[in-house]
Each structure stands twice: as structure tokens, then as C-alpha cells.
Amino acid sequence: MANLRQIFEDFNTLNILIVGDVMLDSYIWGAVERISPEAPVPIVNVKKRDVRLGGAANVALNVQALGAKPILVALCGDDDAGKRLKQIISDQKLSTEGIVVSAARPTTVKTRVIASSQHIVRVDDESDKASSAEEEKELLKKIEKLLPSCQAVIFEDYDKGVLSATLIEQTVTLAQKHGTPTIVDPKKRNFLSYKQVTLFKPNLKEMREGLKIELEAGNLSQLETAINLLKDKLNVEGVMATLSEHGVYIDYQNEKVKLPAHTRQIADVSGAGDTVVSIAALCVALKLSPGLIAGLSNLGGGLVCQYVGVVPIDKDELLEEAQKVGTLV
């Protein structure tokens, strides 16, 4: 069995470049005691407000929580939300060197209203238009400067316009030149643009939409067919599909491993994918076995679902759980 404690110590030696869509996750916490007389909707009495880093910035928090150094490359608006985003990034002792400020787009803010641990509604303030030629040029400059010092690249795609087919191709080419693995958390728009990456990490919904196929969660034969189709279309080294309550399946380095989900009390699935891709990237950077990559990622994704709101992984809790599980492969 792998020395888990040593692996977790080795996480501390890594620099991880994260390219993608950053956002603010805003929370309004309150209590519902009556229904509005104006419409059949609950009235939420506000008790607390909170603003956290989301999207690719939450991936950065997960990477940081695991002991590695995250380096973000992303766009934000030249607005109050953008200033707050950069301030929170700095407050978290993360670098803002790779953040490109654009006057042509707003900073993405997702506001969630939560009452009695129930998610009532979400309000999104955003633009999902593709980045301009000038924005793309500035992003690529940042990537060219920052990538050479990194041991892995994560593409964190939320379909908000930062990642384009051109930027993806140029970044993958640069990473290959430096021998740096690339790990992808995809969305619909660029799903088939991530050619020749190291590890592609879709969920079931993304696979259905991206490949335009029928895919049942518990049907292993359908899943293997879909993954083979993906590998053929994208010429990727590996695919790790997250299957919600059905666990995770990895096909990488001539190994295929299917792991069940661990039974937990699920409070909120927000941000679980960010945790999974963060753990997977660190494991790939350390050249761990496919079974360990899938096992630790699966474990971490489940752990963060126990908490309400988007929260990064707790490294000590993950290590303790991994040691408790004993064998992950």
C-alpha cells in the first residue's frame, strides 16, 4: 500500500497553474417563518451574509488546503465585485499576478439564499460571452510566464468565456513542451476542445451533453463505451468520470478502476467537482497510480458534500479518512 502520509507531504512541494473562470460565491443565510402575501414564495429573514471565492478560485483554495501552491490565471471585471474578488484572493495569501482585469465584462457573482440548511434560490450576475482577442492575448501572456514553474495545469471551465478553443490549444501545447500534465474539469461549450490533455474529468451530465449520447449512471457498459468514444475524439491520455452516488470510474495508463461512493449525509454538492479535480491534479503531478488518483479524489469529493456551501477540503480530515479506508484501489 502507498505511504499516504508521504504522499500528503509531497503535495507541499507542488505548484499548480489553474486557468479558468473565477467568481464570487455570495451567501445569504436566514430563516423562513412565513409565506409572502405578494406571491407564493417564502420570506427569508436574513441572519448572516458571506462572500467566498468560487469557480477556479475555489479550486485554488482546495489546492492550497492540500498544501500545494496554486497560481490562478483568470479574468475579472473592472467593478466593485472584481476589486472584492482580488482582495479576498490576496487575503487568502494567494497571488493575483495572473488575474486579468477587463472593463468589458462583469465579475461573476452567484448569490445563494439558504434557510434552515435548505437552498431556496440562486441569483447569478454574470456574462458568459467569449473572451475578446485582447483579453485572450493577455491571458496567454500570463500563462507563458507562470506555467514553466508549475508541476500541473488545471483547466477549470465554467462556460463563462475565459477558456476558448484557441487558448486551450496554446496552453496544452506549452504544457507538453515543458512536460507538464494537464487536467480538465470541462463544461459544455468547450467539451470537445480539450485535445491531447493528460486527464479529462467530466461528470455524467457533461458526458451526456458533450457527446450527445444516452448514458445511465449505473450502466457500466454504456459508461465504458462513452469513455472510449471520448478518448478517441480527444486523444486524451486518461478519463476520470465522476458518477455522483455511483462513485467514480477512471481509465488511465492502461488501468480501469471503478470505485463506489462512500456513504455520507449529503448537505450540499456545490464545489465537490472543484475538490475532486484539485486532488486529481496533485496526484497526477506526483505520478500516482490511477487507483490512488480515483480513490483520493472520490473520498475528498464526498467529504466536502457534508458541509453547506462551497468549502475547500480539509487535508487532515482527508488523510484520516484515507487511512481509515485502508486500501483505496
**Count of other CB atoms within 10 angstroms of residue 64:** 18
| AA identity, residue 165 | A
∠ CA 162-136-283 to the nearest 5 degrees?
A: 55
**The overall pTM is greater than 0.75:** yes
Q: Decide if 169 is inside a domain.
A: yes
Q: Decide if 190 is inside a domain.
A: yes
Task: Tell whether the model's pLDDT for residue 318 goes beyond 70.
Answer: yes
Percentage of the chain exceeding pLDDT 70: 93
Q: Decide if 119 is inside a domain.
A: no
The secondary structure of residue 72, as a DSSP letter, is E
Residue 275 lies in domain: 4-22+54-106+127-325
Q: What are phi and psi of 3, to 5 degrees?
A: -80, 95
Give per-residue pLDDT as tens, 162-210: 999 999 999 999 999 999 999 999 999 999 999 999 999 999 999 999 9
Q: Decide if 35 is inside a domain.
A: no
Cell 480513490 appears where?
295
Q: Decide if 183 is inside a domain.
A: yes
Are the CB atoms for 129 and 154 separated by under 8 Å? Answer: no
Give per-residue pLDDT as tens, 54-99: 999 999 999 999 999 999 999 999 999 999 999 999 999 999 999 9
Helical axes 272-285 vs 290-304, angle rounded to 10°: 150
CATH code for the domain in which residue 183 is found: 3.40.1190.20
Q: Provide the number of structural domains found in the chain.
A: 1
Give per-residue pLDDT as tens, 40-56: 999 999 999 999 999 99
Are the CB atoms for 188 and 206 separated by under 8 Å? Answer: yes
Question: Is residue 78 among the annotated active site residues?
Answer: no
- Answer with the residue of higher pLDDT: 35 or 262: 35
The catalytic residue among 10, 159, 274, 316 is 274
Q: Decide if 43 is inside a domain.
A: no
- Answer with the residue of higher pLDDT: 218 or 46: 46
Q: Decide if 33 is inside a domain.
A: no
Q: Decide if 31 is inside a domain.
A: no
